[in-house]
Amino acid sequence: MQQVNMKPKYVYSFMAAIRLIPLMIEEMKTLHHALKVRGVQKKWGERFLS
């Protein structure tokens, strides 16, 4: 925080967002594998609940 001269709330928000990126990627992989096991095939850009 001191090195970049930013307010703590912005730095902590940024750090939380950076921490969530790998978790979100892992969740997307889990979802993809679950759909694959169930036989659901989705093309990129299509919606599931159309």
User: pLDDT tens across 32-41, in order?
Assistant: 898 889 888 7
User: pLDDT tens across 1-50, in order?
Assistant: 667 788 889 999 999 999 999 999 999 999 989 888 988 876 666 665 54
Entry pTM: 0.60
**The pLDDT value given to residue 43:** 66
The identity of residue 35, as a single letter, is L
Contacts of 4 (CB under 8 A, 6+ apart): 11
